[in-house]
Amino acid sequence: MIFVTGGAGFIGANFVLDWLRTSDEPVLNLDALTYAGNLENLAALQGDSRHVFVQGDICDRALIDRLFAEHRPRAIVHFAAESHVDRSIHSPASFVRTNVDGTFTLLEAARDYWSALDGEGRAAFRFLHVSTDEVYGSLGPNDPPFAETKAYEPNSPYSASKAASDHLVRAWYHTYGLPVLTTNCSNNYGPYQFPEKLIPLMIANALAGKALPVYGDGRNVRDWLYVGDHCAAIREVLARGRVGETYNVGGWNEMPNIDIVHTVCALLDELRPDAAGPHARLITYVADRPGHDRRYAIDARKIERELGWRPAETFETGIRKTIAWYLANQDWVAHVQSGAYREWLARNYGERRA
């Protein structure tokens, strides 16, 4: 069995679904079911004995110890995190608690569990920590992409909390010998992504005829990674990654945000035309968020060289699949757009002047 944290969230749920499509090895899935955790993401696994779901907090050491003792996992894949930069600007304390304290709790529980294992089980155990490219800071237009050796320069409460968790993972390897692996990924997109993030927000707003808010001049650049490709990379790192190493996972798709928005609009014009006119008419430039990093780019040559992984999707194929999924799953979108979600949109975008 593998132990997955945050397995009802966007990337975690995609990983759990993908894992059980390709393997009969059971998954112990721990998720606190905050606003971004959604059991509807896992509806396809209802009644599947290979999937053991537990609602709980990664900061609850007694719970984590009990789950290790009862289920005896051979590995832990740690997705659970607060992950939205805008939310971290408004409420940094929850990011420190989940991303720093939560990772610390998991590391300590895993260390105690691993230390008590016998020879073969001890040698095989892995702690895989899923992180972000945002820990590396911001790039200039001509700077080389982030390599694994890039110094950390986090600029938001979110990225600082993830950088802290990365440092804890590294320290538990070097100090205690805990067999860890770390992945730092670029911007994910795909099915089940909560519509506070750029792509699902643009899809949802465009379909509703609402403004498509674009920060600043829209020229902030990100590398885009289809979530299915990310899941495949994590499987490879878990299976064959070198203990103690970090692997950057990227899509080789650097694009400005405004180009992403125009691509979404053009595909919606094709797949779900609006009688009122092209969806791009809804694009609205709004005040930028504080400390908005200008550019991220991932150098993913190490994982290709050592493990043979490359993304299977181009941005063109991945974004088409993503929009098709959202069009086919409007009930899911409606269910996650709760009153709390609407309040968040009003708080984050309502006071931004065009």
Pick the closest to residue 286 from 211, 343, 232 (CA basis): 211
Catalytic residue, chosen from 82, 86, 136, 158, is 158
**Residue ranges of E strands in the chain:** 2-5, 27-31, 51-55, 75-78, 126-132, 180-185, 187-189, 212-215, 221-226, 246-249, 254-256, 283-286
Please give the Cα distance from 3 to 145 (Å, whole number): 32
Which candidate, 226, 124, 234, 137, places its Cα nearest to that of 182? 234
**Contact (Cβ atoms closer than 8 angstroms) between residue 294 and residue 139:** yes
What is the arrangement of strands in the sheet containing 221-226, beginning at the earlier edge strand? Answer: 187-189, 221-226, 254-256
Catalytic-labelled residue, pool 31, 133, 254, 293: 133
Q: Which position has the token pair 């990100």?
A: 222
86 is catalytic: no
Q: Is 134 a catalytic residue?
A: yes
- d(CA 242, CA 10) in angstroms, rounded, equals 26
How far, rounded to the nearest angstrom, does the alpha carbon of residue 76 sit from its chain's CA centroid? 16
Quote the distance between the C-alpha of residue 53 and its chain's center. Answer: 19
| Long-range CB pairs of 41-48, under 8 A, 24+ apart, other chains included | 41/8, 41/9, 41/10, 41/13, 41/17, 41/192, 42/7, 42/8, 42/13, 42/16, 42/17, 44/17, 45/16, 45/17, 45/20, 48/20
Q: Which of 134, 196, 223, 254 is catalytic?
A: 134
Structural tokens at position 84: 């939205």
Question: What token pair was written down for 334?
Answer: 């409606």
DSSP 27-81: EEEEE---TT--GGGGGGGTT-TTEEEEE--TT-HHHHHHHHHHH--SEEEE---
Question: Which residues are the active-site residues?
Answer: 133-134, 158
